[in-house]
Amino acid sequence: MKIEYDLDTYLEKIKNNNSYFDTFINKDSLATGILFLKPGEEDTQTPHDSDEVYFIISGDGYLKIKNKDYKVSKDKLFFVAKDVEHFFHGNTKELKVLYFFGGHDS
């Protein structure tokens, strides 16, 4: 079982695969990954089956949860309950976010 992860590896994978996220741990009880949005890039995620935590590594913009915008900045952490609509938007800088699901990434 892998124990140590280098986030730069997964950021490169995202850039090379024309995706904006990569889930690198995906177990029944926990999923972890990294999200990377270029300025103005659309976040197309839909509500998840598990609670989720986002940790902002760098960047700016907003996280819309339900109908409210929350300002995003380095070192902020956000909790989003399962089945709640949410997405990142309005970033003018590259946005890097570490995410954790309380279950597998579905």
Going from N- to C-terminal start, the domains of the chain cover 7-101
Query: Is this model's pTM higher than 0.85 or not?
Result: yes
Distance (Å, whole) CA 58 – CA 74 = 5
More confident residue, 104 or 32: 32
- Closest of 12, 44, 27 to residue 106, by C-alpha: 27
What is the number of residues in the chain?
Answer: 106
Which CATH number describes the domain made up of 7-101? 2.60.120.10
Is 80's pLDDT higher than 70? Answer: yes
